A and B are shown apart, each in its own frame.
Chain A
Amino acid sequence: MAGSSRDERAWVRRAQAGSVSDFEALFRAHWGRAYRAAYLVVRDAGAAEDIAQEAFLSAVRSLDRFDRRRPFGPWLHRIVVNRAIDWARARALRPEAEAVDAPAPDPPERDEELLRELEQLSPEHRAVIVLRYLLEYTPGEIAELLELPRGTVNSRLRRGLDALEERLQ
Protein backbone atom coordinates (compact mmCIF):
# COMPACT_ATOMS: atom_id res chain seq x y z
CA MET A 1 0.00 0.00 0.00
CA ALA A 2 1.42 3.40 -0.94
CA GLY A 3 1.96 5.82 1.91
CA SER A 4 0.31 9.23 2.21
CA SER A 5 1.61 11.88 -0.13
CA ARG A 6 3.33 13.56 2.83
CA ASP A 7 5.08 10.28 3.77
CA GLU A 8 6.07 9.82 0.19
CA ARG A 9 7.56 13.28 -0.23
CA ALA A 10 9.54 12.73 2.98
CA TRP A 11 10.79 9.32 1.75
CA VAL A 12 11.86 10.84 -1.56
CA ARG A 13 13.59 13.77 0.16
CA ARG A 14 15.51 11.52 2.56
CA ALA A 15 16.27 8.96 -0.15
CA GLN A 16 17.77 11.78 -2.22
CA ALA A 17 19.96 12.57 0.78
CA GLY A 18 21.15 8.96 0.95
CA SER A 19 18.83 7.22 3.44
CA VAL A 20 18.56 3.54 2.47
CA SER A 21 15.68 2.95 4.90
CA ASP A 22 13.60 5.70 3.29
CA PHE A 23 14.41 4.43 -0.17
CA GLU A 24 13.36 0.97 1.02
CA ALA A 25 10.07 2.41 2.31
CA LEU A 26 9.46 3.93 -1.10
CA PHE A 27 10.35 0.65 -2.81
CA ARG A 28 8.11 -1.46 -0.58
CA ALA A 29 5.20 0.97 -0.88
CA HIS A 30 5.27 0.81 -4.66
CA TRP A 31 6.68 -2.60 -5.61
CA GLY A 32 3.42 -4.55 -5.42
CA ARG A 33 1.39 -2.30 -7.68
CA ALA A 34 4.24 -1.91 -10.17
CA TYR A 35 4.79 -5.69 -10.35
CA ARG A 36 1.06 -6.48 -10.62
CA ALA A 37 0.56 -3.90 -13.35
CA ALA A 38 3.49 -5.33 -15.33
CA TYR A 39 2.25 -8.89 -14.77
CA LEU A 40 -1.27 -8.10 -15.98
CA VAL A 41 0.08 -6.61 -19.20
CA VAL A 42 2.76 -9.21 -19.97
CA ARG A 43 1.35 -12.31 -18.16
CA ASP A 44 4.86 -13.59 -17.44
CA ALA A 45 6.14 -13.45 -13.87
CA GLY A 46 9.84 -13.32 -14.86
CA ALA A 47 9.28 -10.51 -17.35
CA ALA A 48 7.09 -8.61 -14.88
CA GLU A 49 9.84 -8.85 -12.27
CA ASP A 50 12.41 -7.55 -14.75
CA ILE A 51 10.15 -4.71 -15.86
CA ALA A 52 9.30 -3.58 -12.32
CA GLN A 53 12.93 -3.94 -11.24
CA GLU A 54 14.11 -1.93 -14.23
CA ALA A 55 11.59 0.81 -13.40
CA PHE A 56 13.04 1.06 -9.88
CA LEU A 57 16.57 1.11 -11.29
CA SER A 58 15.47 4.03 -13.48
CA ALA A 59 14.16 5.63 -10.31
CA VAL A 60 17.58 5.20 -8.68
CA ARG A 61 19.28 6.76 -11.69
CA SER A 62 16.89 9.71 -11.77
CA LEU A 63 16.41 10.14 -8.05
CA ASP A 64 18.54 13.27 -7.75
CA ARG A 65 16.65 14.97 -10.55
CA PHE A 66 13.23 13.88 -9.32
CA ASP A 67 10.92 16.79 -8.48
CA ARG A 68 9.59 15.74 -5.06
CA ARG A 69 6.55 17.99 -5.35
CA ARG A 70 5.25 15.45 -7.86
CA PRO A 71 3.86 12.06 -6.83
CA PHE A 72 6.24 9.15 -7.28
CA GLY A 73 3.65 6.48 -8.20
CA PRO A 74 2.45 7.86 -11.55
CA TRP A 75 6.01 8.47 -12.65
CA LEU A 76 6.93 4.87 -11.82
CA HIS A 77 3.77 3.41 -13.34
CA ARG A 78 4.37 5.25 -16.56
CA ILE A 79 7.75 3.53 -16.95
CA VAL A 80 6.32 0.16 -15.96
CA VAL A 81 3.34 0.25 -18.29
CA ASN A 82 5.25 1.59 -21.28
CA ARG A 83 7.94 -1.06 -20.86
CA ALA A 84 5.33 -3.75 -20.40
CA ILE A 85 3.56 -2.69 -23.59
CA ASP A 86 6.89 -2.75 -25.47
CA TRP A 87 7.68 -6.20 -24.07
CA ALA A 88 4.25 -7.60 -24.97
CA ARG A 89 4.46 -6.16 -28.49
CA ALA A 90 7.95 -7.61 -28.96
CA ARG A 91 6.76 -11.02 -27.80
CA ALA A 92 3.83 -10.88 -30.18
CA LEU A 93 6.28 -10.20 -33.02
CA ARG A 94 8.57 -13.11 -32.13
CA PRO A 95 6.53 -15.81 -30.48
CA GLU A 96 9.41 -18.22 -31.04
CA ALA A 97 11.50 -16.35 -28.46
CA GLU A 98 12.99 -18.51 -25.76
CA ALA A 99 10.52 -19.89 -23.26
CA VAL A 100 10.47 -18.58 -19.72
CA ASP A 101 12.30 -20.80 -17.29
CA ALA A 102 9.37 -22.09 -15.28
CA PRO A 103 5.63 -21.78 -15.60
CA ALA A 104 4.07 -19.37 -13.17
CA PRO A 105 1.82 -20.94 -10.56
CA ASP A 106 -1.86 -20.56 -11.22
CA PRO A 107 -3.33 -17.30 -9.99
CA PRO A 108 -6.33 -17.45 -7.64
CA GLU A 109 -9.26 -19.16 -9.32
CA ARG A 110 -11.73 -16.28 -9.26
CA ASP A 111 -9.33 -14.13 -11.30
CA GLU A 112 -8.41 -16.86 -13.70
CA GLU A 113 -11.10 -16.37 -16.28
CA LEU A 114 -10.79 -12.60 -16.26
CA LEU A 115 -7.02 -12.81 -16.62
CA ARG A 116 -7.28 -15.30 -19.46
CA GLU A 117 -9.64 -13.03 -21.32
CA LEU A 118 -7.57 -9.95 -20.51
CA GLU A 119 -4.66 -11.66 -22.22
CA GLN A 120 -6.65 -11.82 -25.45
CA LEU A 121 -6.70 -8.02 -25.65
CA SER A 122 -3.90 -6.05 -27.30
CA PRO A 123 -1.14 -4.79 -24.97
CA GLU A 124 -2.41 -1.22 -25.43
CA HIS A 125 -5.95 -2.16 -24.34
CA ARG A 126 -4.64 -4.26 -21.46
CA ALA A 127 -2.53 -1.36 -20.26
CA VAL A 128 -5.38 1.15 -20.01
CA ILE A 129 -7.58 -1.39 -18.22
CA VAL A 130 -4.80 -2.17 -15.74
CA LEU A 131 -4.16 1.52 -15.13
CA ARG A 132 -7.87 2.20 -14.65
CA TYR A 133 -8.98 -0.80 -12.61
CA LEU A 134 -5.84 -2.03 -10.83
CA LEU A 135 -4.02 1.24 -10.24
CA GLU A 136 -7.25 3.29 -10.21
CA TYR A 137 -6.13 6.22 -12.32
CA THR A 138 -8.77 8.39 -13.92
CA PRO A 139 -8.94 8.43 -17.73
CA GLY A 140 -7.45 11.93 -17.66
CA GLU A 141 -4.51 10.72 -15.59
CA ILE A 142 -4.02 7.72 -17.89
CA ALA A 143 -3.99 10.07 -20.89
CA GLU A 144 -1.27 12.09 -19.21
CA LEU A 145 0.73 9.02 -18.17
CA LEU A 146 0.71 7.41 -21.60
CA GLU A 147 0.83 10.71 -23.50
CA LEU A 148 -2.34 9.84 -25.38
CA PRO A 149 -5.37 11.97 -26.23
CA ARG A 150 -8.09 11.50 -23.66
CA GLY A 151 -10.48 10.30 -26.36
CA THR A 152 -8.08 7.50 -27.26
CA VAL A 153 -7.93 6.38 -23.63
CA ASN A 154 -11.72 6.41 -23.36
CA SER A 155 -12.15 4.45 -26.57
CA ARG A 156 -9.53 1.87 -25.54
CA LEU A 157 -11.25 1.47 -22.20
CA ARG A 158 -14.66 1.12 -23.83
CA ARG A 159 -13.49 -1.37 -26.45
CA GLY A 160 -11.46 -3.34 -23.95
CA LEU A 161 -14.35 -3.61 -21.53
CA ASP A 162 -16.81 -4.48 -24.31
CA ALA A 163 -14.51 -7.25 -25.50
CA LEU A 164 -14.09 -8.59 -21.97
CA GLU A 165 -17.82 -8.48 -21.31
CA GLU A 166 -18.57 -10.28 -24.53
CA ARG A 167 -16.07 -13.03 -23.79
CA LEU A 168 -17.08 -13.46 -20.19
CA GLN A 169 -20.78 -13.80 -20.92
Chain B
Amino acid sequence: MKDFRAPREAEARERAWEVVRSAYESREPVTWPRRHARPLIAGAVVAAAVAAVLSPPGRSVVHSLRKAVGVENAQTELFSLPAHRRLLVSGTGGAWVVNADGSRRRLGAYRDAAWSPHGLYVAATKADELVAVDPKGNVRWTLPRRAPRFPAWTGTRTDTRIAYLAGGKLHVVAGDGTGDRTIGPAAPVPPVWLPGRVVAYSNGHALVGYAVDSNSALRRVRIGPSGVTIRRHAGQSEVVSGGRVLFRGTGVFKQVVRSPDGRWLLVTWPTADQWVFIQIHPRKIVGVSRISSQFGGFPHVGGWCCSR
Protein backbone atom coordinates (compact mmCIF):
# COMPACT_ATOMS: atom_id res chain seq x y z
CA MET B 1 0.00 0.00 0.00
CA LYS B 2 2.87 2.38 0.64
CA ASP B 3 3.60 2.49 -3.11
CA PHE B 4 0.03 3.48 -3.86
CA ARG B 5 -0.52 6.59 -5.98
CA ALA B 6 -3.93 8.26 -6.05
CA PRO B 7 -5.45 9.45 -9.33
CA ARG B 8 -4.79 13.02 -10.51
CA GLU B 9 -2.28 13.50 -7.74
CA ALA B 10 -0.03 16.03 -9.49
CA GLU B 11 -2.89 18.16 -10.86
CA ALA B 12 -4.59 18.15 -7.47
CA ARG B 13 -1.31 19.15 -5.82
CA GLU B 14 -0.77 22.12 -8.14
CA ARG B 15 -4.37 23.33 -7.79
CA ALA B 16 -4.21 23.02 -4.01
CA TRP B 17 -0.82 24.73 -3.87
CA GLU B 18 -2.26 27.82 -5.59
CA VAL B 19 -5.01 28.03 -2.97
CA VAL B 20 -2.76 27.25 -0.01
CA ARG B 21 -0.02 29.63 -1.16
CA SER B 22 -2.55 32.40 -1.56
CA ALA B 23 -3.85 31.78 1.98
CA TYR B 24 -0.28 31.68 3.29
CA GLU B 25 0.64 34.94 1.57
CA SER B 26 -2.43 36.73 2.88
CA ARG B 27 -1.71 35.78 6.50
CA GLU B 28 0.12 38.13 8.83
CA PRO B 29 3.22 36.44 10.28
CA VAL B 30 3.23 36.77 14.06
CA THR B 31 6.46 37.99 15.62
CA TRP B 32 7.95 36.34 18.71
CA PRO B 33 6.67 38.86 21.27
CA ARG B 34 3.15 38.66 19.80
CA ARG B 35 3.31 34.87 19.62
CA HIS B 36 4.18 34.71 23.30
CA ALA B 37 2.05 37.64 24.38
CA ARG B 38 -1.17 35.69 24.08
CA PRO B 39 -0.38 33.15 26.84
CA LEU B 40 0.96 35.95 29.05
CA ILE B 41 -2.15 38.05 28.54
CA ALA B 42 -4.35 34.99 28.98
CA GLY B 43 -2.57 34.28 32.28
CA ALA B 44 -3.11 37.83 33.46
CA VAL B 45 -6.78 37.75 32.48
CA VAL B 46 -7.28 34.44 34.28
CA ALA B 47 -5.62 35.84 37.42
CA ALA B 48 -7.80 38.96 37.29
CA ALA B 49 -10.92 36.91 36.66
CA VAL B 50 -10.17 34.56 39.56
CA ALA B 51 -9.69 37.56 41.85
CA ALA B 52 -12.91 39.15 40.65
CA VAL B 53 -14.97 35.99 41.03
CA LEU B 54 -13.92 35.66 44.68
CA SER B 55 -16.40 38.35 45.74
CA PRO B 56 -20.17 38.13 45.06
CA PRO B 57 -20.32 41.53 43.28
CA GLY B 58 -17.33 40.43 41.23
CA ARG B 59 -19.24 37.38 40.07
CA SER B 60 -21.97 39.46 38.50
CA VAL B 61 -19.44 41.81 36.85
CA VAL B 62 -17.63 38.90 35.23
CA HIS B 63 -20.93 37.40 34.13
CA SER B 64 -21.98 40.71 32.55
CA LEU B 65 -18.64 41.06 30.81
CA ARG B 66 -18.90 37.60 29.30
CA LYS B 67 -22.39 38.32 28.11
CA ALA B 68 -21.43 41.73 26.76
CA VAL B 69 -20.28 40.76 23.30
CA GLY B 70 -20.78 37.44 21.58
CA VAL B 71 -22.68 34.24 22.15
CA GLU B 72 -21.39 32.25 25.10
CA ASN B 73 -20.00 28.78 24.44
CA ALA B 74 -19.53 29.59 20.78
CA GLN B 75 -17.66 27.02 18.74
CA THR B 76 -14.11 28.05 17.96
CA GLU B 77 -14.26 26.65 14.42
CA LEU B 78 -17.03 26.38 11.87
CA PHE B 79 -17.30 22.60 12.16
CA SER B 80 -20.48 22.37 10.09
CA LEU B 81 -23.44 24.40 8.89
CA PRO B 82 -26.63 23.70 10.82
CA ALA B 83 -28.59 23.46 7.57
CA HIS B 84 -27.66 21.67 4.35
CA ARG B 85 -26.35 23.44 1.24
CA ARG B 86 -23.39 25.80 0.91
CA LEU B 87 -22.41 29.29 1.95
CA LEU B 88 -20.49 31.68 -0.26
CA VAL B 89 -18.47 34.35 1.52
CA SER B 90 -16.01 36.98 0.35
CA GLY B 91 -13.82 39.71 1.74
CA THR B 92 -10.21 40.65 2.31
CA GLY B 93 -9.32 36.96 2.67
CA GLY B 94 -10.79 36.16 -0.77
CA ALA B 95 -13.93 34.24 -1.73
CA TRP B 96 -14.72 30.91 -0.07
CA VAL B 97 -17.34 28.20 -0.47
CA VAL B 98 -18.29 26.62 2.86
CA ASN B 99 -19.88 23.20 2.57
CA ALA B 100 -22.45 21.80 4.98
CA ASP B 101 -19.82 19.59 6.65
CA GLY B 102 -17.69 22.66 7.43
CA SER B 103 -15.08 22.00 4.76
CA ARG B 104 -14.06 25.13 2.89
CA ARG B 105 -12.61 25.89 -0.51
CA ARG B 106 -10.96 29.19 -1.27
CA LEU B 107 -11.95 30.23 -4.77
CA GLY B 108 -9.35 32.96 -5.11
CA ALA B 109 -8.56 36.55 -4.22
CA TYR B 110 -12.00 37.92 -5.09
CA ARG B 111 -13.58 40.92 -3.42
CA ASP B 112 -17.30 40.20 -3.94
CA ALA B 113 -18.99 36.97 -4.88
CA ALA B 114 -22.54 35.84 -5.67
CA TRP B 115 -24.07 32.46 -6.55
CA SER B 116 -25.64 31.77 -9.91
CA PRO B 117 -29.37 30.98 -9.48
CA HIS B 118 -28.77 27.23 -9.16
CA GLY B 119 -25.41 27.36 -7.45
CA LEU B 120 -23.50 25.98 -10.42
CA TYR B 121 -21.27 29.04 -10.75
CA VAL B 122 -20.11 32.06 -8.83
CA ALA B 123 -19.81 35.61 -10.17
CA ALA B 124 -16.90 37.33 -8.48
CA THR B 125 -14.95 40.56 -8.77
CA LYS B 126 -11.25 41.38 -8.83
CA ALA B 127 -9.59 44.78 -9.13
CA ASP B 128 -10.31 45.08 -12.86
CA GLU B 129 -12.31 41.99 -13.76
CA LEU B 130 -15.71 40.42 -13.43
CA VAL B 131 -15.14 36.66 -13.30
CA ALA B 132 -17.34 33.57 -13.42
CA VAL B 133 -15.89 30.54 -11.66
CA ASP B 134 -17.26 27.13 -10.76
CA PRO B 135 -17.46 26.15 -7.07
CA LYS B 136 -14.03 24.54 -7.35
CA GLY B 137 -12.50 27.84 -8.38
CA ASN B 138 -11.98 27.04 -12.08
CA VAL B 139 -12.43 30.23 -14.10
CA ARG B 140 -15.13 29.96 -16.80
CA TRP B 141 -14.93 33.47 -18.24
CA THR B 142 -13.66 36.93 -17.39
CA LEU B 143 -14.78 40.40 -18.39
CA PRO B 144 -12.28 43.22 -17.96
CA ARG B 145 -13.99 46.20 -16.30
CA ARG B 146 -12.66 48.94 -14.08
CA ALA B 147 -13.26 48.22 -10.36
CA PRO B 148 -16.40 46.08 -10.73
CA ARG B 149 -18.47 45.60 -7.57
CA PHE B 150 -21.56 43.88 -6.20
CA PRO B 151 -22.44 41.20 -8.77
CA ALA B 152 -26.01 39.88 -8.45
CA TRP B 153 -27.11 36.91 -10.57
CA THR B 154 -30.65 35.94 -11.53
CA GLY B 155 -32.47 33.83 -14.10
CA THR B 156 -33.39 30.31 -15.08
CA ARG B 157 -31.20 27.37 -16.05
CA THR B 158 -31.19 28.50 -19.66
CA ASP B 159 -31.09 32.29 -19.43
CA THR B 160 -29.32 34.13 -16.66
CA ARG B 161 -28.15 37.74 -16.17
CA ILE B 162 -25.63 39.32 -13.87
CA ALA B 163 -26.07 42.90 -12.68
CA TYR B 164 -22.98 44.66 -11.33
CA LEU B 165 -21.53 48.14 -10.88
CA ALA B 166 -18.43 49.41 -12.68
CA GLY B 167 -17.18 52.92 -13.37
CA GLY B 168 -20.10 54.43 -11.43
CA LYS B 169 -22.67 52.72 -13.67
CA LEU B 170 -24.96 49.73 -13.53
CA HIS B 171 -24.16 46.99 -16.05
CA VAL B 172 -26.08 43.86 -16.99
CA VAL B 173 -24.33 40.97 -18.72
CA ALA B 174 -25.56 37.52 -19.77
CA GLY B 175 -24.54 34.57 -17.61
CA ASP B 176 -22.06 33.40 -20.24
CA GLY B 177 -20.23 36.74 -20.14
CA THR B 178 -21.62 38.05 -23.43
CA GLY B 179 -23.76 41.07 -24.30
CA ASP B 180 -22.58 43.40 -21.56
CA ARG B 181 -24.77 46.55 -21.43
CA THR B 182 -24.36 49.78 -19.53
CA ILE B 183 -27.71 50.72 -18.02
CA GLY B 184 -27.10 54.05 -16.29
CA PRO B 185 -25.39 55.97 -13.48
CA ALA B 186 -25.50 54.13 -10.18
CA ALA B 187 -24.53 54.91 -6.59
CA PRO B 188 -22.18 52.40 -4.91
CA VAL B 189 -25.00 50.32 -3.44
CA PRO B 190 -25.55 46.62 -4.32
CA PRO B 191 -28.24 46.17 -6.99
CA VAL B 192 -31.10 43.79 -6.22
CA TRP B 193 -33.04 41.55 -8.60
CA LEU B 194 -36.82 41.68 -8.22
CA PRO B 195 -39.38 39.25 -9.67
CA GLY B 196 -39.95 39.71 -13.40
CA ARG B 197 -36.23 40.17 -14.13
CA VAL B 198 -36.20 43.74 -12.93
CA VAL B 199 -33.01 44.96 -11.35
CA ALA B 200 -33.42 47.69 -8.71
CA TYR B 201 -30.55 50.05 -8.06
CA SER B 202 -29.86 53.49 -6.64
CA ASN B 203 -28.97 56.28 -9.06
CA GLY B 204 -27.93 58.47 -6.14
CA HIS B 205 -31.32 60.21 -5.90
CA ALA B 206 -33.90 57.46 -5.97
CA LEU B 207 -34.36 53.74 -6.23
CA VAL B 208 -34.86 53.06 -9.93
CA GLY B 209 -35.09 49.94 -12.03
CA TYR B 210 -34.31 48.28 -15.33
CA ALA B 211 -36.52 45.57 -16.85
CA VAL B 212 -34.42 43.11 -18.83
CA ASP B 213 -37.25 41.61 -20.90
CA SER B 214 -38.69 44.92 -22.12
CA ASN B 215 -35.28 46.65 -22.14
CA SER B 216 -36.86 49.59 -20.35
CA ALA B 217 -35.91 51.90 -17.52
CA LEU B 218 -38.27 52.21 -14.56
CA ARG B 219 -38.34 55.59 -12.87
CA ARG B 220 -39.16 54.29 -9.47
CA VAL B 221 -39.30 50.83 -7.96
CA ARG B 222 -40.29 49.65 -4.55
CA ILE B 223 -38.68 46.79 -2.69
CA GLY B 224 -41.17 45.07 -0.40
CA PRO B 225 -40.37 44.74 3.28
CA SER B 226 -38.04 41.88 4.03
CA GLY B 227 -39.37 39.31 6.47
CA VAL B 228 -36.38 39.72 8.74
CA THR B 229 -34.53 42.97 9.40
CA ILE B 230 -31.70 44.31 11.52
CA ARG B 231 -32.52 47.22 13.82
CA ARG B 232 -29.81 49.21 15.59
CA HIS B 233 -30.12 51.55 18.56
CA ALA B 234 -28.23 52.52 21.70
CA GLY B 235 -25.16 50.53 20.78
CA GLN B 236 -27.14 47.34 20.28
CA SER B 237 -28.40 45.44 17.26
CA GLU B 238 -31.55 43.36 17.02
CA VAL B 239 -32.82 40.85 14.50
CA VAL B 240 -36.52 41.52 14.12
CA SER B 241 -39.21 39.51 12.37
CA GLY B 242 -42.87 40.53 12.36
CA GLY B 243 -42.23 42.98 15.19
CA ARG B 244 -40.69 40.24 17.35
CA VAL B 245 -37.03 40.47 18.42
CA LEU B 246 -35.39 37.16 17.58
CA PHE B 247 -31.90 38.00 18.76
CA ARG B 248 -30.16 40.96 20.37
CA GLY B 249 -26.50 41.77 20.98
CA THR B 250 -23.99 44.52 21.62
CA GLY B 251 -22.44 46.31 18.67
CA VAL B 252 -23.17 45.82 15.01
CA PHE B 253 -24.91 42.99 13.20
CA LYS B 254 -23.88 43.30 9.58
CA GLN B 255 -26.10 40.83 7.74
CA VAL B 256 -28.93 38.42 8.33
CA VAL B 257 -29.17 35.61 5.77
CA ARG B 258 -31.92 33.01 5.64
CA SER B 259 -31.07 29.34 4.96
CA PRO B 260 -32.51 27.89 1.74
CA ASP B 261 -35.06 25.85 3.72
CA GLY B 262 -36.06 28.96 5.69
CA ARG B 263 -35.53 27.31 9.07
CA TRP B 264 -32.29 29.04 10.05
CA LEU B 265 -30.98 32.58 10.05
CA LEU B 266 -27.31 33.43 9.91
CA VAL B 267 -26.49 36.69 11.68
CA THR B 268 -23.00 38.05 11.02
CA TRP B 269 -21.65 39.97 13.99
CA PRO B 270 -18.28 41.65 13.36
CA THR B 271 -18.22 43.30 16.81
CA ALA B 272 -18.03 39.85 18.38
CA ASP B 273 -16.12 38.30 15.45
CA GLN B 274 -18.90 35.71 15.39
CA TRP B 275 -21.50 34.14 13.18
CA VAL B 276 -24.70 33.24 14.98
CA PHE B 277 -27.02 30.63 13.51
CA ILE B 278 -30.57 30.95 14.83
CA GLN B 279 -33.18 28.26 14.40
CA ILE B 280 -36.53 29.95 14.76
CA HIS B 281 -38.66 26.99 15.83
CA PRO B 282 -37.78 25.18 18.01
CA ARG B 283 -35.48 27.95 19.11
CA LYS B 284 -31.82 27.12 19.02
CA ILE B 285 -28.71 29.26 18.79
CA VAL B 286 -25.30 28.14 17.57
CA GLY B 287 -22.44 30.64 17.75
CA VAL B 288 -19.16 30.34 15.89
CA SER B 289 -16.29 32.58 16.96
CA ARG B 290 -12.95 33.56 15.37
CA ILE B 291 -14.59 34.15 12.00
CA SER B 292 -11.94 36.65 10.86
CA SER B 293 -9.07 34.26 11.42
CA GLN B 294 -10.90 31.46 9.61
CA PHE B 295 -11.45 33.55 6.48
CA GLY B 296 -8.54 36.01 6.56
CA GLY B 297 -10.82 38.90 7.55
CA PHE B 298 -14.48 39.24 8.52
CA PRO B 299 -16.30 38.23 5.34
CA HIS B 300 -19.50 39.30 3.63
CA VAL B 301 -21.94 36.44 3.01
CA GLY B 302 -22.69 36.32 -0.69
CA GLY B 303 -25.44 33.71 -0.34
CA TRP B 304 -26.63 30.47 1.18
CA CYS B 305 -27.24 28.17 -1.73
CA CYS B 306 -29.63 26.82 -2.98
CA SER B 307 -33.25 25.85 -2.59
CA ARG B 308 -34.34 22.99 -4.81
Contacts and interface: CB of A to CB of B under 8 A. Distances in A.
B261 interface: no
A88 B103 CA distance: 13
Contacts of B6: 35-36, 39-40, 45, 48, 107
Nearest to A104: B7
Contact of A40 (B4, B25, B30): B4
A114 B3 CA distance: 13
B101 A90 contact: yes
A42 B24 CA distance: 27
Chain B: interface residue count, which band? 20 to 34
B23 A60 contact: yes
A90 B6 CA distance: 22
B103 A83 contact: yes
Interface in A14-61: 15-18, 20, 23-24, 27-28, 31-32, 35-36, 39-40, 45-46, 48-54, 56-57, 60-61
Chain A: interface residue count, which band? 35 or more
Contact of A53 (B7, B8, B19): B19
B136 A35 contact: no
B247 interface: no
A56 B16 contact: yes
26 contacts: A16-B29, A20-B24, A31-B17, A35-B13, A45-B7, A45-B12, A48-B12, A49-B8, A49-B16, A51-B103, A52-B16, A53-B105, A54-B105, A56-B16, A57-B106, A60-B20, A60-B24, A60-B27, A64-B35, A87-B103, A104-B8, A105-B7, A106-B7, A107-B4, A107-B5, A133-B2
Given A15-B24, A134-B4, 18 more contacts: A17-B29, A28-B13, A35-B6, A36-B5, A39-B7, A40-B1, A49-B16, A52-B12, A56-B20, A57-B23, A60-B27, A61-B27, A61-B293, A63-B24, A64-B29, A64-B30, A65-B35, A107-B5
